[in-house]
Homo-oligomer: A and B are copies of this chain.
């Protein structure tokens, strides 16, 4: 029985190590993560990243720097006068910051940009032999039928036809992956929002598009060949499909994390209600406060998890 328990424990630990869905990487002498400007040949990944338990990602590099300063202070890990250096020096494709068990990385805009980042991030976590890692996207979005400033925790990521599918072309052939997110994480994050009680938060589906203008039924792009009525009909149909916000990364984020067994969540603030308009016209300071909301929620979640788990930093 003792042997069985040890096997089970070993199994569990193995299951929680970050895994790749690619046998080739284990046989490579050196792995250059080109868009991070990091390489296993020149950097000690286990020493640099082995303690990472939470990875937070978002579009804008400056927002992800703001977040690392904020979470560092919240976790009591900041030191006065000490800045957080960008780990991805020598490239401006992405920016990466770390404090204790939290890694914060920018991913740019759109599915291709976040896909490159995720492939290299998951390889980074694998090379560093990280275990029990949770990945959360803290983003911005357009809301549907929501008060501006509302936060949406994504139940399911849907494509522009309202399907929970991430379609890719691999070697010229169509490959479709599931975009299911971690249900337990959704519940935990919603509970955190109730406890925080600082801003309206809903659980809803998130539509992910390849374009911000025509792809999101905006009337104000350089190209537009439909009417206000067509737009309203599409957005109302999206609302009826349970969609509460629209952004441009969640399909790939959900599918790639899931394919590698990483629990993942998407938490986005809605800058505007798309049923009311297309332009993001709120004053800068209002948008800046909205932008902090997913960060506050996720920081609260991380603190709560660490308080429970006593993870070392």
A256 close to chain B: CB less than 8 A: yes
Among the 9-residue stretches A70-78, A160-168, A193-201, A302-310, the one with 4 or more Cβ atoms under 8 Å from chain B is A160-168
Q: Are A211 and B25 in contact (CB under 8 A)?
A: no
The contact size tier of chain A is 35 or more
**Shortest beta-carbon distance, A59 to chain B, in Å?**
8
Which of B112, B126, B259, B284 is in CB contact (< 8 Å) with A112? Answer: B112
Query: How distant is the Cα of A161 from the Cα of B62 in the complex, in angstroms?
Result: 37
Known contacts A222-B20, A223-B119, A223-B260; A92/B171 CB under 8 A: no
Contacts A31-B220, A32-B280, A170-B226 supplied; 12 other A-B pairs, CB < 8 Å:
A22-B220, A22-B225, A24-B219, A60-B92, A110-B111, A116-B213, A119-B223, A161-B169, A162-B172, A168-B214, A170-B214, A222-B260
- List the interface of chain A (C-beta within 8 A of B): 20-25, 28, 30-32, 34-35, 59-62, 90, 92-93, 108-113, 115-116, 118-120, 122-123, 126, 159-162, 168-172, 175, 209-215, 217, 219-226, 230-231, 233-234, 237, 248, 256, 259-260, 279-281, 284
